[in-house]
Amino acid sequence: MTDRTDTPRLLPWSTPEGRPAYLIADGTGYLSRMADTIESVQLGMAGDLLDHAADMLTDHKVTPAQLRFLLARMSESLTDVHRIAESRGARLPGPAYGDDFT
């Protein structure tokens, strides 16, 4: 995916203060590649977590504590996936002049 250099990229991590981190680059540098890798890992972990959740939901021996732990991890994962979607959506090109999507 090639970044537009005029649009800051929301990175898949926060600053030490917990604020969003951004990068302005052409999408080919070290930090862009690192962000791509981290996003890929986060998306893979989300898929694994969904598989684990499906298994747990069919197991009638799962305890409330195990379900709370699962829910906490799913919340973290959904936060990561939401950040990735925001970042990628912001980098999509806008509609071309004259495109009518209504």
- Residues 13 and 42: beta-carbon distance below 8 Å: no
Enclosing H/E stretch for 57? helix 30-58
Residue 99 falls inside a structural domain: no
Is 3 part of a structural domain of the chain? Answer: no
On whether residue 95 sits in a domain, the answer given is: no
Residue 60 lies in a domain: yes
The residue-averaged pLDDT of 46-55 equals: 97
**Domain assignment of residue 98, yes or no:** no
* Predicted confidence (pLDDT) at residue 4 exceeds the cutoff of 90: no
Residue 97 lies in a domain: no
Residues 21 and 91: their CA atoms lie apart, in Å, by 15
Print the domain residue range for 52.
9-90
Residue predicted with more confidence, 33 or 101: 33
Say whether pLDDT at 102 is over 80: no
pTM for this entry: 0.80
Q: How many CB atoms lie within 10 A of CB 36?
A: 13
Would you state the pLDDT for residue 99?
A: 63
Indicate the number of domains in the chain: 1
